């Protein structure tokens, strides 16, 4: 596997790259996570026919904190950085898999007119950035502390967030926990603030009008999303499987149930090449 350090307007972006000449598959991690969350995809022979590319977003993992946090730590800001990464790697028409925050960034890439072969999202309700829509799409408890947008994590916050987002059973990978702690807290604060203030593109419009294939694969036990919300949307190019909910998986089915998830990702990515 190749390791890249790519210079962007936001700083150095570190990236895993399986390095083949196969069709590219861009993997975008979630809030306070990192590229290593996709280890089960890089290790699976079922995905060996694709060039897997997994960057650390700005402020995450081994990448630099954003040089301009206010503009970078938004869906559009992350999308702009990934456009520079893809250009630097000479990647054209990738299939994009986005998890949670990464799914919103993937939809933003599509909405910005990038030439993508297809988009799969996971744990990512396509939302209009308005409070009533956010409340309908996500399980948000107004009486509970919102870790998604909290700038400064305690050790207890980090463990709770890592467990709820990427725990396997009751266990959390020590590296993933360390990367929650490493994340620039401004990335959470600014991203969440930008969403509630209406900065992102209207993702309902994006999925209703996108030209490339779209797949939605969630964990059936994902505690963060309102599963019924996905059935209320209009999709222009939803794949034949419809909205998939994988049993036994929470917010990260690609990590928690990779034996069930990876064949779906491989099938979708292959179909996007035809």
3-state helix, strand, coil in the chain (%, to 5): 40, 20, 40
In tens, the pLDDT along 189-234 reads 999 999 999 999 999 999 999 999 999 999 999 999 999 999 999 9
- Write down the pLDDT at residue 143: 66
CA angle in degrees (0–180, nearest 5) for 221-225-227:
75
Fold classification of 2-144+190-271 is Rossmann fold (3.40.50)
Q: Is the pLDDT of residue 28 over 80?
A: yes
What is the spatial distance between Cα 97 and Cα 252, in angstroms, rounded to a whole number?
Answer: 12
pTM for the model: 0.98
Cα separation, 69 vs 78, whole angstroms: 11
What does 257-271 look like in DSSP terms, one character per residue?
SHHHHHHHHHHHHHH
CB of 111 closer than 8 Å to CB of 142: no
pLDDT computed for residue 140 by the predictor: 83
**For residue 90, pLDDT beyond 90:** yes
Distance CA 95, CA 86 (A): 12
Mean pLDDT of the chain: 96
Rg of the chain's alpha carbons, rounded to an integer?
17
DSSP state of 51: E
Closest CA to 57 of 23, 39, 40, 80: 80
The alpha carbon torsion through 196, 201, 205, 208 (nearest 10 deg) reads: -110
State the Cα–Cα distance between residues 255 and 252, nearest whole angstrom: 5
The pLDDT of residue 78 is above 80:
yes
Pairwise CA distance, residues 253 & 12, whole Å: 29
pLDDT at 12 over 80: yes
């Amino acid at each position: 596997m190749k390791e890249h350090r790519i210079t962007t307007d936001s700083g150095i972006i570190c990236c895993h790259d399986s390095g083949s000449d196969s069709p590219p598959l861009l993997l975008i991690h979630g809030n306070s996570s990192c590229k290593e969350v996709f280890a089960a995809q890089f290790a699976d022979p079922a995905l060996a026919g694709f060039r897997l590319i997994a960057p650390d977003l700005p402020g995450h993992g081994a990448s630099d904190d954003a040089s301009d946090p206010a503009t970078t730590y938004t869906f559009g800001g992350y999308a702009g950085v990934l456009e520079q990464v893809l250009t630097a790697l000479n990647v054209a028409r990738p299939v994009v898999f986005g998890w949670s925050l990464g799914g919103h960034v993937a939809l933003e890439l599509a909405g910005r007119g990038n030439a993508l072969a297809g988009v799969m999202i996971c744990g990512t309700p396509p939302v209009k950035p308005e409070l009533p829509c956010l409340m309908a799409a996500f399980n948000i408890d107004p009486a509970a502390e919102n870790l998604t947008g909290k700038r400064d994590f305690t050790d207890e916050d980090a463990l709770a967030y890592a467990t709820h987002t990427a725990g396997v059973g009751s266990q959390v990978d020590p590296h993933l926990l360390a990367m929650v702690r490493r994340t620039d807290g401004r990335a959470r604060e600014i991203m969440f603030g930008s969403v509630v203030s209406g900065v992102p593109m209207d993702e309902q419009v994006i999925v209703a009008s996108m030209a490339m294939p779209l797949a939605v694969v969630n964990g059936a036990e994902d505690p963060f999303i309102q599963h019924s919300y996905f059935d209320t949307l209009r999709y222009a190019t939803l794949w034949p499987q419809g909205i998939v909910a994988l049993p036994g998986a929470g917010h990260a089915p690609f990590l928690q149930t990779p034996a069930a998830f990876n064949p779906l990702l491989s099938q979708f990515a292959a179909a996007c090449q035809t």
